[in-house]
Structure formats: structure tokens, C-alpha cells
A and B are shown apart, each in its own frame.
Chain A
Amino acid sequence: MIGVGKIKQYSNVLDKPLSKGKQEVSLSAFAFLFSELVQYNQTQVDNIAELERRLEDAGYAVGARVLELLCHRDKGNRRETRLLGILSFVHSTVWKVLFGKVADSLEKGTEHEDEYMISEKELLVNRFISIPKDMGTFNCGAFVAGIVRGVLDGAGFPAVVTAHFVPVEGQQRPRTTILIKFAEEVLRREARLG
């Protein structure tokens, strides 16, 4: 929560230590900021696909930084070079830092070898968002998809990442699935590394 526990202020970002420390931001403040992000981008685009792309780009920058930071802070300067390693890094380490919990599930796609899915019953960014009917399949999870893509791309696993709503039986709200489709080269390299 903002204001709980004094955070020392540094005038220069380079003086600030990288070590851990619980620095949580209030959810309402984040939700407000995020809604502004969505609304601003909405004024800049003509269609839904464009809006999702812009949110994704915003997330990408977050992902690229999160990867650098967490590998240093939580993994003691080890890189991820394997596919499953980086996926579980996203699913647990990244999710925990960004959303305070590990993701609900990480599954491999049944139809395609190169597809993986991270599912979340109630994605943090979607918690206070309801999509108007006329916006069809738009999903603000595109921002999170961008974060995932930023992490994967940075680590050398280029992928197409998209966010989808999946209806759940007996639940009013659909869950969000982040679909990761890796580039061909990634699978080829995985096979080579054995």
C-alpha cells in the first residue's frame, strides 16, 4: 500500500539499490492508472486490433525490464536458456512479482507443439474492466500478453503472445488465457540443445 512503510527517496535512480523489498502499489491506484492507459490509447486508434497492439507494446517495455531485474534479483544472475525454464520463470517468478501470486495454470497446447497457455481466473488488469458489447473480443489482457512477450523475446525466445477470454461453466466471468506461440527457430534450437 502506498504510504505504508517509508520508502527512502533517492534523487538519482542509479543510487537506488536493486535488492528486494516489499514495494507494493495500491490496487486502486494501479487500476486507475491502467484505465487511463486504456482510455488514452482508445483515442489514438481506429480499431480493436490496433488498440490491442498498442497495449501490447506498452507491456513489452515492462517485460523487457522485468526480465533483466528478476534474473538479477531472484535468480542470482543466472539466465534462462531452456524453453520450460523460461516458461516457469514467467509463470511463477514474474507473476509473483507483478501480481502477488503465481499464475493459475501453465499448460501445453494440445493441438500444436509450439503453443503454451497461461491461464488466470481473474487477471489483475481485468478485474475492474468490463468490455462493452460493441468491442467484441477485445481483451485488456493484451497488456499482460505484451509483458510476457517482452520477457520471452528478451531471453531469446521470440513468440506471438495473445490474450483471450475463455468462458467457464458456472462462472459469470470468463477466465483469461495468455496464448504463447513460439517461433519456429525456438523449437529447432530446443531440439538441438536436447
Chain B
Amino acid sequence: MATTACFVIVSRNDIPIYEAEVGSAAKREDAAQLHQFILHAALDIVQDLAWTTSAMYLKAIDRFNDLVVSVYVTADIHTRLMLLHDSRNDDGIKSFFQEVHELYIKDCPYETPGEVDSPVVSWVNALRSLNKLTIVVQVRVVCSGGFGHGNGRVLVARNSIDRGNLPGVSRSKLSAYFDGCDRGTMGIPTIRAHF
């Protein structure tokens, strides 16, 4: 059976540090964006759940149609291993996460304390080269509007614009976009904005 799977390691400030499409299904054209979008929408849930349990493996925490998001939070609460999958194999996924975690401990990426780029800016910068700017901003924004406590991210985006970190994006455009999203349902893009 063909399976879909997307594995991402998200680091401090929601910056993705590793990404891999590992499924055997034929790739849909929009797979990369769709998967990122679903995984990103799950981050807010992870943020809340991570404090309610001391287990690292949080099991399946979110779903989108037949795609399920399983998450593993390492001891460093900022590091999240996320797997988007459509097959049911809880034990297999758990041991997969544990194996990745061990490798992660051995090769702990060096983290310097102090200021890091704001999440929005670094996502945009990282993905601008891939010509996915529209989608990325959209993902951010929809997530911010969809959940009540995501409002911090909206502020970050606004501040980034004010500081001129998002050239070509005007505040009025983005605000309109947020407002539209607030009325939208959780995790579903309601308006498409092109910057």
C-alpha cells in the first residue's frame, strides 16, 4: 500500500531544521506545501500539550482528513519531532521517534543562546529561495488566526513588517488577511494573499 509520510524536526522559535518526505505514494503537486501547512497548524496544540504530560511521545495530536500528526517532544521542550502520516502503527512510530531522538542527542546541533530571528522572518527567509513565499506567509497567518492563543504570532508578523523585515509586504494587506482568517475555521485557508 502506498503511504504518505512527512517528517520534520522543528527547533526553537518554530524554525524547521530538518525536513523529509518519506512516503511511498506518488507525490501530489501541492504535497510539500500541504504537509508543511498541516504540521504548522499542529504546533499550537503541541505547545499546550507538552506542558500537561512528562512523556516525550505525545501520540497523534491532530488530523487533517486522513492525515495524522504524531509528535515527539524531546527534553529540550523547543525541539519537536513531527511526523505526518496516513498509516496506523503507533508502536512503529514511537520506536521511530526514539531512534531519531537518540541520533539527535548524539549529534545535538549547537545552539547559541540569545537572539534568533523572529520565526516569521526566518521561515520566510529560509523558504524565499524556494519560491514559496506566498504559501509560507499564508500558513503562518492562518495558524495565528485559527487559534486564540496564536495571537502572539500575529504580533510578531506585524512587528516584522513594521521593522521592514518583510520587504514588499504592507501592514494593511496583512491585517486584512488576519481579519479574514479570524473568521475562518481552524487550520483551513480562507483567503489567499499574494505579496
A interface residue numbers (CB < 8 A to B): 13-14, 16, 18, 57, 60-61, 64-65, 67-72, 77-81, 149-150, 153-156, 189, 193
Contact with A155, one of B52, B75, B98, B113 (Cβ below 8 angstroms): B75
Distance between A7 CB and nearest chain B CB, rounded to angstroms: 16
Whole-angstrom CA separation of A16 from B107 in the bound complex = 11
Distance between A190 CB and nearest chain B CB, rounded to angstroms: 10
Distance between B161 CB and nearest chain A CB, rounded to angstroms: 25
Distance between B41 CB and nearest chain A CB, rounded to angstroms: 21
Contacts of A57 in B (CB 8 A): 112-113
Contacts of B51 in A (CB 8 A): 81, 156, 189, 193
Known: A68-B105, A81-B54, A189-B51. A61 touches B75 (CB 8 A): no
Assess whether A64 is in contact with B54, with CB atoms less than 8 Å apart.
no
> From B111, which residue of chain A is reached at the shortest CB distance?
A64
Assess whether B75 is in contact with A13, with CB atoms less than 8 Å apart.
no
Q: Which of B55, B77, B107 has the most CB of A within 10 A?
A: B77
Distance between B158 CB and nearest chain A CB, rounded to angstroms: 21
Assess whether B56 is in contact with A77, with CB atoms less than 8 Å apart.
yes
Assess whether A13 is in contact with B77, with CB atoms less than 8 Å apart.
no
Contacts of A64 in B (CB 8 A): 76, 108, 111
Contact with A72, one of B52, B101, B111, B112 (Cβ below 8 angstroms): B101
Say yes or no for B73: interface residue by CB 8 A criterion.
yes
> From A158, which residue of chain B is reached at the shortest CB distance?
B113
Say yes or no for B104: interface residue by CB 8 A criterion.
yes
Assess whether A67 is in contact with B76, with CB atoms less than 8 Å apart.
yes
> From B113, which residue of chain A is reached at the shortest CB distance?
A60
Name 29 interchain pairs, CB-CB below 8 A, sorted by A.
A14-B107, A16-B106, A18-B102, A18-B106, A60-B112, A61-B110, A61-B112, A65-B108, A67-B76, A68-B75, A68-B108, A70-B75, A72-B101, A72-B102, A77-B56, A77-B57, A77-B98, A79-B56, A79-B73, A79-B74, A79-B75, A79-B77, A81-B53, A153-B113, A154-B75, A154-B77, A155-B77, A156-B50, A193-B51
Known: A60-B113, A79-B54, A80-B54. A14 touches B106 (CB 8 A): yes
Say yes or no for B78: interface residue by CB 8 A criterion.
yes
> From B114, which residue of chain A is reached at the shortest CB distance?
A57
Whole-angstrom CA separation of A172 from B52 in the bound complex = 47
Whole-angstrom CA separation of A81 from B110 in the bound complex = 23
Assess whether B111 is in contact with A78, with CB atoms less than 8 Å apart.
no
Whole-angstrom CA separation of A69 from B76 in the bound complex = 10
Distance between A53 CB and nearest chain B CB, rounded to angstroms: 10
Contacts of B102 in A (CB 8 A): 18, 72
Say yes or no for B103: interface residue by CB 8 A criterion.
yes
Contacts of A156 in B (CB 8 A): 50-51, 77-78
